[in-house]
Every structure is written in C-alpha cells, then in structure tokens.
Amino acid sequence: MKVLVTGHKGYIGTVMVPMLLQEGHDLVGLDSDLFSACTFGELVHTIPDIQKDIRDVEASDVEGFDAIIHLAGLSNDPLGDLDPNLTYEINHEASVRLARLAKQVGVSRFIFSSSCSNYGAGGDDLLNEESAFNPVTPYGESKVRVEQDVAKLADSTFTPTFLRNATAYGVSPRLRFDLVLNNLVAWAYTSGLVYMKSDGTPWRPIVHIDDISRAFVAVLHAPREIVHNEAFNVGVSQENYRISELADIVKETVPGCRIEYAKDGGPDKRCYRVDCSKIARVLPEFKPQWNARDAAMQLLEAYKHVGLCLEDFEGIRYKRIDHIRHLLETKRLNKSLRWEPSDGDGRRKVS
C-alpha cells in the first residue's frame, strides 16, 4: 500500500516508519522538521519526504496515495497553550483541510492520530469510545474538533479512522521528555528524585509508542468495513495508573532515587481512565507488548547509554516548548511557527 505519513520525523513517526517498511508498505513522509536539532538517537530509516508545513499542503502532495497516516501537529499541552489560535489552526483546521484534500484526490483511508486527552476531566470511571468528550486544553479541544469534522466526510469512497492514543511513553530517535513516564525516569536518573509536579492523584492511561505504531498498522491492514468512521482507544485497559503509582514504579526501577512532590503541586484537572477493550476485540492483529515496568527499564538503559543530564531534558535540546521558544527568539521561526526563508522555504522537497 502507498502511504503518506505526516509527522514522520516526530516522536511516534520515527518509530512507526520502520514498522511500516517492515510490513512492505511504500512510504512518503511529510514534515516541517521543527525538531531536527532534538534528535536523541539515530534515525533508523529514511524515506522520500516532503518538507512542508501541514498548513501548506496542496492536492498534488497527497495525490496517488492509498492511505494517509496523520501524525503531524503541535504535540502537547504546553505547545498548545503557547498560542491557542495557532493550535486550532495547525491541529484542527489544517488536519480537516488535509482530509478534504485527500478525499478530493481519491485517497481512500485517513488514519488520524487522536488522543485520550479528548476525555479531559473524565474522573475515575472507565471511559469507552462512546463516552462524552470533556477536553480541558486547546490541544485536547483541537483533537475533538478534528474527529467531529472529519467524521462528516466519511462515505463509500473515504474511510477515516480515529485512534485515540493513551499517553505515550518509550524510547524514540526523537524522544519527548514532557510525557509522564519518560519525564519521571529522566528526573530519577539525572537527579535522584522522582519529581512530582502534581499531587499524584490524577489517572492516566499510558501506552508505548511501539504499541501505538502497531495499532496504526492493524488499522491499515483491517477490512474497510470494520474501521470505517470508527474511533478506538489505543492502549491496554490494565495500563491505567495514578501518577503516584507511576512514581512508585520509577522508584523501584532507578536505584537510589526518592520521590519528591513540588511544593506548589496541586491536583491536575486532566484525569481520565480508559477502556481499551474495543481495539482488542475488533482488531485482533493489534497485540500490545509493553507495560510501564518494562518501559521504565528501557528508558533507564537509554538514558544511561547517552549519559543524559538534567540540563538536556529540561532545556532547549529536548524540551519541546523551550526548543520552540528558542527558535522564535533566534528568529529561525516566525510567529506563525513557520521556518524563516533562510532555514527552509516550505516548498515541496522530495529526496
């Protein structure tokens, strides 16, 4: 199958691309590559790609593909809060426009990387795909809007599928340290503290990026009729944790560390548990292989391997929001988060 992967150079994309290649798919990537200076490890595979902002995609960029896997966007709440209007422009409007262009030129499958952030302040109950949306951030709201608008495009020729990923974790060539398990292990390894920025009570469903990638592969391979205009919570129902429980796992994994709570850490309004039984039932090819304990050890070994230090993961090298602010301050990006002409003109580039 010929597949366009947007955001192929990001945290999930750099893990998903090798998996898709192994399955024999013909891939092209599309990415503005905002985080080219944030590489944690070697990119295992390169594929032909288009260096372009997702907002500037044209029909000719998406023509000729059987499917689009849409990962690109501002990837977390701090980035989303930087300028909520930009968040909606990039994450919502550009995503819906991409889907419309795909449908216009005959792309039959559109697999959207959504989020369990859609559920937002969900409380203690297990939430399934029919549960009410309750997003509490511009990032979560943008994901909800994409699902609602793209679902209206579904017809006999165009099949969108919405994968609501649990909070991701795991090692990637474009590693993110703003994600809860990645962050807690990094703090424990570099400082001896499992540093808690909230009171530890909120629930989070978590899932390894390898398993997120497996979910996208399973949807790509599934018969159209079982994924047509469907949403799936991506994860394992047993992998819902309170943040304090994740802290305990990290304390048991990283020798000599202790848990410390920030003095101003209160309850996080983002609190949700999700039921992932639907994806297990409908997509038997999806076989998740990771849990929090195994991943904490994987992360620890990766941090040891590179000699990670606190200044790296809490500074501009790896912290997404600080990296973007640095690019803005040094005028490599303009206020719309587009590269200035000296660093990339946004034209179609296939290599």
pLDDT of res. 190: 95
Entry pTM: 0.94
pLDDT of res. 109: 98
H-state helical runs in 63-179: 77-82, 84-87, 94-105, 138-151
pLDDT of res. 350: 36
Tell me whether strands 159-165 and 121-127 are parallel, antiparallel or unpaired.
unpaired
DSSP string, 34-90: TTGGG--S--S----EE---GGG--HHHHTT-SEEEE--S--SHHHHHH-HHHHIII
Alpha-carbon span 88 to 84, nearest angstrom: 6
pLDDT of res. 342: 62
Query: Which residues, 6 or more positions from 277, have their beta carbon under 8 angstroms from its beta carbon?
Result: 128, 237
pLDDT of res. 76: 67
pLDDT of res. 331: 94
Q: Is the dihedral of CA 262, 266, 267, 270 positive or negative?
A: negative
pLDDT in tens, the chain (351 residues): 999 999 999 999 999 999 999 999 999 999 999 988 888 877 767 899 999 999 999 999 999 999 999 999 987 666 667 788 899 999 999 999 999 999 999 999 999 999 999 998 888 889 999 999 999 989 999 999 999 999 999 999 999 999 999 999 999 999 999 899 999 999 999 999 998 888 889 999 999 999 999 999 999 999 999 999 999 999 999 999 999 999 999 999 999 999 998 887 766 778 899 999 999 999 999 999 999 999 999 999 999 999 999 988 888 888 888 889 999 999 999 999 999 986 444 433 333
Alpha-carbon span 282 to 339, nearest angstrom: 42
Q: Which residues of 163-201 are buried (b: 16+ CB within 10 A; e: fewer)?
A: bbbbbbbbbbbbbbbbbbbbbbbbbbbbeebbbbbbebe
pLDDT of res. 199: 87
Alpha-carbon span 254 to 189, nearest angstrom: 7
